[in-house]
Amino acid sequence: MLVYLVVSVLSTLWITMAQNQLGGPEEKDKTSTALKELYSSQGWYLHNLLSRIDLEELMKKDEPPLKFPQTLDEFEYSFNEKGQLRHIKTGEPYVFNYHEDLHRWNQKRYEALGEIITHCVYELLENECHLKKVHLPVDATEDEPKSFIFMSEDAITNPDKLMVLIHGSGVVRVGQWARRLIINEDLDSGTQIPFIKRAMDEGYGVIVLNTNENYVEVEKSKKQEQPPPNDTDEPAEKKEKKDDCQKETNKRRDFYEKYRNPQKEKETKHIPIRDNSTPEEHTIYVWDHFISRSSAKNVVFVAHSYGGLVFVELHCRNWVSSSEPLDTPVEFMLPDCPRVSAGTERHELTSWKSFNSIFNYFTQALEVQNAEAKSKSTVTTRSSYRKKSEEL
């Protein structure tokens, strides 16, 4: 790639100089001849340069194997008493550039650590928050692809109030707000655990959605390569020359592919999870099978980023990234729910920075509703809310 860029720059410079010196027809002919010789010499120059490159030495710069530790201990990292990820020996934060100039390998290592972090969060949801894992679909067979959510023991039976937590899009899974915050900041800002603990302390039942768990990934079966058709009408000499040319092309392509992507990864396919193949489908499924069947008089939602779009038509308050102080009203062109500042310009931090304001908002809203309510209310269904929304 570097050679190509250098050659391109040289070509541009020479062409610009030639164009600036154009005169009459004779000069134009000379220029045309010069350009032809230049392009011809470029091919020689590139070939000569490549022939001098020690390909074996070049290949030594290939990335290490894409094999990474399977546990946090093997990575030599752990969470300290403040919930910060630190190296066990040095006490330093996570280092992304483990190998300099190998961004793809470093990214794969980061993703491998992220998968371990995801399972660590699952364990914290069960052991610290005392939530139970519920598999979806509820009637799934043993061999069928499954998703899951986490719920408190009283999520369905709590007669007073229920809190539903929804993360955003991307690699995050149930219990997380942002993987980057978990790795680079701490568990409090990056996970939903503080929300879950406080909600349970304040008497809420809790349901934690898992909107990005939409499929299972399996390796594709290898297909046998079919030999190219044999054209018997083609002259033997022409066919032999054509085959040699194709072999040389394949050789160059294979070398380029190995240098660009030295470790060809396995080809996989996605098998969708029934009734949960998209974030929206998952949320509707959880609503129909759990939320709408709960005994709670009041149901509140805390949704981060894309998770809010699932319930965009519901009455709500939206804490948005802004340089304004926390809870300052923020104007917006679209007439959706009221927007206030989260007190930060970092999108991934909006939920954590608004932590206290969110719970205060719920408390005030429920106090007003309970004061006005004269009889036991029922949980609003999606169909009835849609009808009410259309009437408004």
| Residues taking part in catalysis | 305
Q: Is the peptide bond before 329 cis (omega within 30 degrees of 0)?
A: no
- Cα(142)–Cα(201) distance, integer angstroms: 36
State the CB neighbour count (10 A cutoff) for residue 367: 10
- Cα(88)–Cα(67) distance, integer angstroms: 21
Ramachandran class of 176: left when φ > 0, alpha when ψ lies in -120 to 50, beta otherwise: beta
- Cα(179)–Cα(191) distance, integer angstroms: 8
Asked if 271 contacts 172 with a C-beta cutoff of 8 angstroms, the reply is no
- Cα(109)–Cα(219) distance, integer angstroms: 20
As given in the structure block, the two tokens for residue 254 are: 């294979």
Checking DSSP bridges between strand 77-79 and strand 85-87, what pairing results, if any?
antiparallel
* Dihedral sign of CA atoms 42, 44, 49, 51 in order: positive
Continuous segment of H or E residues that includes residue 302: strand 298-303
Which residue's structure tokens are 């330093």?
A: 92
- Cα(86)–Cα(89) distance, integer angstroms: 9
Give 204-217 as a 3 state SS string.
CEEEECCCCCCEEE
- Cα(140)–Cα(135) distance, integer angstroms: 8
Q: Which residues of 136-163 are buried (b: 16+ CB within 10 A; e: fewer)?
A: bbeebeeeebbbbbbbbebbbebeebbb
Checking DSSP bridges between strand 318-320 and strand 339-341, what pairing results, if any?
parallel
171 DSSP 8-state letter: S
